[in-house]
Structure 1
């Protein structure tokens, strides 16, 4: 099974998840606020979308199921991550939720794919930056909405054959 898991508070993450869903064949689209994360157990390929809230925290639905995620065995699972954040207003914790999720999944032996360049972003700090690149696709709908479609297209083309 292949699936895109996401949660949304404002609709932005859902919108990006839908754009990714249109580009990747054979993926089920799952809103964890209604369907939970249990289906991750049955997946060999996962795309996971998170947004950053507050002081660099996970969105509420992800926070609510975080313990469940830590119980899943990600060994032999390919995982591509995407995250949303606001680099201008929250440049000191830009897409930190993406970094939090990355750290958790790596600790559970997930095979992370789809890292992206930090070029074109202006921020002070991000937990999602590891070894000079982002751990997944980064979207800023607040300040760079005009770049979203191109970023999604490029990223999906890059991961299609890997996931």
Structure 2
């Protein structure tokens, strides 16, 4: 498997926790972790396979660090690269915009020419709306740390297995 870059904001503890779980689920695969706060254009372009972690803040907003990087993402040349996104949200407190961060970043990465991989089922979630949906699937792995913490490890493990097949 080609080298994988895993980008996430290190200032959000729950996203950092999930990033570590994702890396562990890949076993011996070579994964470089790059804090998005320190990422440059060349960092994203260096990898053929990219994993991105994002939380959704408030009413469907990106955290500051992703909000600041997002315009630069759209100027990248990511043609031929695979991007998988995991996102955290709260389907009880924010059911109208559950894991919207996934959808916002998906648009940016697709605008840069990347292929989205790692889409997952909405089964087992209860929410009203999400910008992370396409054809009744999430555009990545949805994690509800607050309300479905007991399902997190299994979801991460299954997603990592899926990505191992989809990454080339």
Question: TM-score normalised to the size of structure 2?
Answer: 0.92
Equivalent position of 2:6 in the other structure: 4
Question: How far off is 1:64 after superposition?
Answer: 1.5
1:119-154 alpha-carbon deviations (Å, 9 max, x no partner): 010000001011011011110001111110000000
| 1:13–1:49 CA contact under 8 A, matched in 2 | yes
Unmatched tracts of structure 2, length 5 or more: none
Any conservation in 1 of the 2:74–2:112 contact (CA below 8 Å)? yes
Listed as ranges, the gaps of 5+ residues in structure 1 are none
C-alpha root-mean-square deviation of aligned residues, in Å? Answer: 1.2
Q: CA deviation at 1:161?
A: 2.3
Q: Which residue does 2:96 correspond to in 1?
A: 92
Secondary structure, counterpart of 1:21 in structure 2: helix
Structure 2 residue corresponding to 1:159, chosen from 151, 156, 163: 163
> Aligned-pair distance for 1:107?
2.2
C-alpha deviation, 1:82, in angstroms: 0.6
Could you list the runs of 4 or more consecutive aligned residues of structure 1 that deviate by over 6 angstroms after TM superposition? none
Q: How many residues align?
A: 162
2-side partners of 1:13 and 1:115: how far apart? 18
Name the structure 2 match of 1:136: 140
* Contact 1:8–1:59 under 8 Å retained in 2: no
**Superposed, which structure 2 residues align to 1:1-163 within 5 Å?**
1-24=3-26, 25-33=29-37, 35-38=38-41, 39-163=43-167
SS in 2 for 1:104: helix
Following TM superposition, by how much is the alpha carbon of 1:41 offset from its aligned partner in structure 2, in angstroms? 1.3
Contact 2:48-2:81 at 8 Å conserved across structures: yes
CA distance in 1 between partners of 2:16 and 2:86 (Å):
11
Aligned equivalents of 2:120 and 2:91: distance in 1?
16
Deviation of residue 15 (structure 1)?
Answer: 0.4
